[in-house]
Amino acid sequence: MLCALLRERGTPARARCGFGAYFEPGRFVDHWVCEVWDAERDSWRLVDAQLDARTPLASGFATCGDSGSCAANLARDVASLSKRELLPWDVWGMMAGPEAVETADELALLDCAAELTRSGDAAYAELRKLHDEPPGFRVPRNIFSAVQQTPVDLGADFS
């Protein structure tokens, strides 16, 4: 919601998927934040609408590329950075289940994606290429909703 509101006001913003350490001590919890373009610093800055000004976001949020874990959240982050923002419980590609990532090629693809999500705008074209090509990051027309426990037709193929 914050991302949409900022964009409506003309502020460059994008959603990021990762883990927050500030909700439960000692645990990293699946969480989404927003990145806002900071023109003064000439870089993206993390913002979390769920936090007050006293909670330090920078030390308590890790993207999947930073944490080196979770194929599902990494796929969501790649999609989000590619302007394919879906719901946190939407499932497709390599996130279909724990058995979905088995081969050395798939693990290498995840490592590549993690590095690209950490590389900033310089890697955007490469990240989009990774998203748009099979096997596991491209968002297909039909995905699965883990909440509804049913397939969902997005009405368009995002490739």
pLDDT in single tens digits along all 159 residues of the chain: 898 899 999 999 998 888 888 888 888 888 889 999 999 999 888 888 888 776 666 668 888 777 656 778 888 889 888 888 888 888 887 775 555 556 788 888 888 888 998 888 888 999 888 888 766 688 888 888 877 777 777 776 655
Contacts 24+ apart (CB under 8 A), 50-58: 51/22, 55/22, 56/22, 57/22, 57/33
User: Residue 47 domain-assigned?
Assistant: yes
Indicate whether 93 belongs to any domain: yes
77 in any annotated domain? yes
Q: Report whether 71 contacts 32 (CB < 8 A).
A: no
Q: What is the pLDDT of residue 8?
A: 94
For residue 159, being part of any structural domain is answered with: no
Sign of CA dihedral 65, 68, 69, 70: positive
List the domain range (segments joined by +) for residue 67: 2-153
Tell whether 44 is covered by a domain: yes
Q: Are 110 and 101 in contact (CB under 8 A)?
A: yes
User: Would you state the pLDDT for residue 5?
Assistant: 92
158 found inside a domain: no
CB atoms within 10 A of CB 126: 13
- What pLDDT was estimated at residue 12? 94
Q: At what angle do helices 104-118 and 71-81 cross, to 10 degrees?
A: 50
pLDDT at res. 102: 64
Domains held by the chain: number: 1
- Is residue 110 a part of any domain in this protein? yes
